[in-house]
């Protein structure tokens, strides 16, 4: 399945979704980016350079791990996990930013900017900028800067400037607007490192291209582990949709069911979740430079979203997924905050893995479906990141008394 062969349709469109809705002033810059990316894509030495970089810098290929204890306890399908948590900086986000770092280098640009909500993408971008020697500015809503201090701490110590955006609701949407303003003013020397498979063309295609390294490895690795078998189902969590696109691309042409797991938050109901497709609350619109399903009200104003996992808390969805969902190629489900908390406890205790809260959404749906499958069937889950970063949220969610004591004592130390 070649989603990026636009011969029969409009370039940058997936069915009716995608496109590029940008201020005209950016046209030349985006054309330059597109041309550079397509040249890289055609050049086999570029992918080889990328793979080598990811091998040396981030420990790729990440392994696939069999989970015998969990499989046995659930009594159904055999469960395997692709370990993106083992990347440098702790998630799949590094795949995209290092790829865009190479592109930025080829473009001859010296400065990168990015927007970030939970801070994970800003952290990865700051890491990449330090490694490549780029100047780096990260835009983040003031509310998120306060909420995500550990990531802000790392970004600043990696040499990035973090701008706390004061406009609007002072969260991700406002950071995106401010970042776009910077790009318009500084496009000659600046590359905008978009963090997920969203935004205007060519970003969905480019981000998917770099993340496809996950699926290529996983296809080969699962066959090695199972005597040549492919999984029956692949589960991945979906925020913007980059890690899921990454692993799914390894299996599009095979008879494998693909399941995207969104943030069900507090359950169905406008404003209570970030499940754009699974709960059918979203509608088609144009925002942030592209056309897709957004969580918005009848006037086109964006709704609040809710999720225990900050990385899934996003109003729009990858336009390629909007298309594949309509085509029936990818099924979408939602896991609620409560399901995620319970699943995290189960996975930690049975297998000693600590998936990120985002990734745990994929585990939750796999854990629900595994018992209904045969013992000879195979599930593959993409563990997009590691959960250590979530210690504050998880400790709160589990209402851990010892942790509360620890935080109080720390705070007291600073007061004295
Ligand atoms: C950011 C993030 C996500 C969500 O982003 P996608 O683009 O949907 O992959 C998922 N998992 C982790 C660990 C993240 O940091």
Which residues fall within 8 angstroms of residue 347, CB to CB, at 6 or more apart? 70, 353, 354, 355, 360, 363
Distance in angstroms (rounded) separating the CA atoms of residues 317 and 319? 6
- The average pLDDT across 140-145 equals 93
Is residue 389's pLDDT more than 90?
A: no
What is residue 67's predicted lDDT score, i.e. its pLDDT? 98
Q: Tell which phi-psi region holds residue 383, choosing left (phi > 0), alpha (psi between -120 and 50) or beta.
A: beta
What is residue 398's predicted lDDT score, i.e. its pLDDT? 83
Q: Which atom of ligand 1 is nearest to the CA of 211?
A: 9
CATH classification code of 13-55+92-203 = 3.40.50.1100
Ligand 1 contacts CB of residue 119 (under 6 A): no
Q: Which residue, judged by its Cα, is nearest atom 13 of ligand 1?
A: 385
Buried b (16+ CB within 10 A) or exposed e, 3-27: ebeeeeeeebbbeebbbbebeeebe
Ligand 1 contacts CB of residue 129 (under 6 A): no
What is residue 401's predicted lDDT score, i.e. its pLDDT? 94
Please tell me the distance between residue 54's alpha carbon and the centre of ligand 1 in angstroms.
Answer: 18
Ligand 1 contacts CB of residue 359 (under 6 A): yes
Q: Which residue, judged by its Cα, is nearest atom 5 of ligand 1?
A: 239
Q: For helices 44-58 and 203-225, what crossing angle results, to 10°? A: 70
Largest CA distance in the chain: 69
Distance of CA 33 to the CA centre of its chain: 22
Q: Which residue, judged by its Cα, is nearest atom 10 of ligand 1?
A: 358
Q: In what order do the strands lie in the sheet with 290-294?
A: 13-14, 17-18, 290-294, 283-287
Least confident of 6-20, 91-105, 250-264: 6-20
What is residue 361's predicted lDDT score, i.e. its pLDDT? 98
Query: What count of residues does the chain have?
Result: 416
Residue range(s) in the chain whose domain bears CATH number 3.40.50.1100: 13-55+92-203, 59-90+213-397
* Burial classification of residue 230, based on how many CB atoms lie within 10 Å of its CB (0-12 exposed, 13-18 middle, 19 or more buried): middle
* Omega before 363 within 30 of 0, i.e. cis: no
Please tell me the distance between residue 311's alpha carbon and the centre of ligand 1 in angstroms.
Answer: 5
Q: Which atom of ligand 1 is nearest to the CA of 244?
A: 9
What is residue 2's predicted lDDT score, i.e. its pLDDT? 87
Q: Which atom of ligand 1 is nearest to the CA of 238?
A: 8
pLDDT band for position 1 (50/70/90)? confident
- The average pLDDT across 251-276 equals 96
Half-sphere exposure of 217 (CA within 13 A, CB side): 22
Mutate to test the pocket of ligand 1, among 119, 239, 246 (most ligand atoms within 8 A of CB): 239
Torsion 385-391-392-396 (CA) sign: positive
Q: Which atom of ligand 1 is nearest to the CA of 385?
A: 13
**Mean pLDDT, the chain, integer:** 95
Strand partners for 17: 14
pLDDT band for position 416 (50/70/90)? confident
Is residue 280's pLDDT more than 90?
A: no
Please tell me the distance between residue 405's alpha carbon and the centre of ligand 1 in angstroms.
Answer: 31
Q: Which atom of ligand 1 is nearest to the CA of 84?
A: 13
Question: What is 59-90+213-397's CATH topology?
Answer: Rossmann fold (3.40.50)
Ligand 1 contacts CB of residue 93 (under 6 A): yes
pLDDT digits (tens, 9 = 90+) for 20-78: 999 999 999 999 999 999 999 999 999 999 999 999 999 999 999 999 999 999 999 99
Is residue 215's pLDDT more than 90?
A: yes
Please tell me the distance between residue 409's alpha carbon and the centre of ligand 1 in angstroms.
Answer: 33
Residue 86: closest CA among 387, 393, 344, 391: 387
Least confident of 95-109, 346-360, 382-396: 382-396
* DSSP string over 118-174: SSHHHHHHHHHHHHHT-EEEEEEEHHHHHHTHHHHHHHHHTTPEEEEE-STTSSHHH
As a whole-number percent, the residues of the chain with pLDDT over 90 amount to 87
Distance in angstroms (rounded) separating the CA atoms of residues 351 and 346? 8
pLDDT band for position 393 (50/70/90)? confident
Long-range contacts of 222-228 (CB under 8 A, 24+ apart): 222/64, 222/80, 222/378, 222/380, 225/64, 225/66, 225/80, 226/78, 226/80, 226/378
What is residue 396's predicted lDDT score, i.e. its pLDDT? 87
pLDDT digits (tens, 9 = 90+) for 164-208: 999 988 888 889 999 999 999 999 999 999 999 999 999 999 999
Distance in angstroms (rounded) separating the CA atoms of residues 96 and 73? 36
Please tell me the distance between residue 196's alpha carbon and the centre of ligand 1 in angstroms.
Answer: 8
What is residue 9's predicted lDDT score, i.e. its pLDDT? 80
**Active site members:** 93, 115, 384
Please tell me the distance between residue 365's alpha carbon and the centre of ligand 1 in angstroms.
Answer: 16
Ligand 1 contacts CB of residue 91 (under 6 A): yes
Ligand 1 contacts CB of residue 385 (under 6 A): yes
Q: Read off the tokens for 392.
A: 């504050």
The dihedrals phi and psi of 355, each to the nearest 5 degrees, come to -70, 150
């Amino acid at each position: 399945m070649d989603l990026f062969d636009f011969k029969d349709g409009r370039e940058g469109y997936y069915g009716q979704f995608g496109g590029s809705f940008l201020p005209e002033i950016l046209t030349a810059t985006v054309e330059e980016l597109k041309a550079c990316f397509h040249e890289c894509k055609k050049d086999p030495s570029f992918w080889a350079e990328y793979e080598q970089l990811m091998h040396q810098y981030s420990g790729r290929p990440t392994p696939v791990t069999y989970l015998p204890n969990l499989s046995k306890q659930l009594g159904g399908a055999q469960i395997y996990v692709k370990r993106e948590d083992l990347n440098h900086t702790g998630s799949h986000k590094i795949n995209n930013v290092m790829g865009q770092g190479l592109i930025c280098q080829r473009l001859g640009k010296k400065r990168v900017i990015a927007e970030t909500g939970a801070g994970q993408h800003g952290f990865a971008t700051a890491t990449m900028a330090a490694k490549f020697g780029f100047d780096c500015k990260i835009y983040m809503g003031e509310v998120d800067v306060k909420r995500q201090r550990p990531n802000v701490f790392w970004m600043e110590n990696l040499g990035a400037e973090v701008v706390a955006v004061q406009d609007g609701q002072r969260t991700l949407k406002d950071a995106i607007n401010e970042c776009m303003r910077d790009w318009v003013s500084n496009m000659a020397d600046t590359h905008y490192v978009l963090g997920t498979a969203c935004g205007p063309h060519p970003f969905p295609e480019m981000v998917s291209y770099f993340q496809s390294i996950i699926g290529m490895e996983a296809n080969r690795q699962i066959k090695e582990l199972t005597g040549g078998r492919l999984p029956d189902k692949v589960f991945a969590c979906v925020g913007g949709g980059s890690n899921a696109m990454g692993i799914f691309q390894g299996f599009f042409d095979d008879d494998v069911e693909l399941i995207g797991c969104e943030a069900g938050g507090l359950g169905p109901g406008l404003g209570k979740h970030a499940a754009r497709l699974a709960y059918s609350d979203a509608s088609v619109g144009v925002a942030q430079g592209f056309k897709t399903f957004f969580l918005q009200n009848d006037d086109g104003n964006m709704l609040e979203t809710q999720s225990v996992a900050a990385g899934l808390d996003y109003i729009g969805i990858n336009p390629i997924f909007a298309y594949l969902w309509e085509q029936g190629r990818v099924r979408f489900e939602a896991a609620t905050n409560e399901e995620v908390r319970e699943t995290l406890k189960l996975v930690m205790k049975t297998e000693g893995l600590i998936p990120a809260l985002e990734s745990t959404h994929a585990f939750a749906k796999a854990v629900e479906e595994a018992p209904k499958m045969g013992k000879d069937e195979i599930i593959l889950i993409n563990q997009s990141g590691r959960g250590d970063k979530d210690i504050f949220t998880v400790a709160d969610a589990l209402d851990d008394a010892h942790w509360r004591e620890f935080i109080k004592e720390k705070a007291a130390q600073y007061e004295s």
